[in-house]
Amino acid sequence: MALVPARLDGALLGTVALGGAIGSLGRWAVGLALPHIPGTVPWATLLVNVTGAFAMGMLVAFLVDRPGVHRLARPFIGVGVLGGWTTFSALAVETVQLGETHHVQEALAYVTGTFLLGTLAVAGGTTLGRRVWPGP
């Protein structure tokens, strides 16, 4: 079954683009602050992915069953800001680079740690968010 795209909405596109720019610039700044040394765990990418997962958990807790949330809140924060902030592609490239430079244990620890910490961060963010913003 083919997916039919929704009508293009200029406000939605602009909102996602603005959020993406903010998230991407933030990720770039973290990369500058925590430069990656080849053969070591890419701490900047790990940090943005785990904090992004936590923030996504908080966002989900806030938005679920909440009447009156602006229609652009989720696209701005979830797709734009957090989509620009987090990066699966950098995780994949850095993991391959670690493996290619014979740092296989670090590559496995990086992938496993990112997945586990990210999953725990979403759970923690959702739990905290539900306490901060109890549902209706």
**Which residues neighbour 30 within 8 Å (Cβ) at sequence distance 6 or greater?**
44, 47, 48
Residues composing the chain: 136
Domain-located, residue 44: yes
Query: The domain containing residue 24 runs over which residues?
Result: 16-132
Residues 124-133: what's their mean pLDDT?
93
pLDDT at 6: 61
- pLDDT tens sequence across 50-109: 999 999 999 988 887 677 888 899 999 999 999 999 999 999 999 999 999 999 999 999
| pLDDT for the residue numbered 69 | 87
Give a yes or no: residue 43 inside a domain.
yes
Q: What is the pLDDT of residue 3?
A: 56
In a domain, 5, yes or no: no
- Band (pLDDT 50/70/90 cuts) for residue 1 is very low
Q: Is residue 9 part of a domain?
A: no
Is 2 a member of any domain? no
**What pLDDT is recorded for position 133?**
87
Start-to-end CA span in the chain (Å): 36
Task: Please count the structural domains in the chain.
Answer: 1
Q: Which among 101, 102, 98 is positioned nearest to 113, based on CA atoms?
A: 98
Q: Within a domain: residue 8? A: no
Confirm whether 11 is domain-assigned.
Answer: no
Whether residue 3 is contained in a domain is answered as: no
pLDDT at 105: 95
Please give the angle made by the CA atoms of 27, 113 and 52, to the nearest 5 degrees.
30
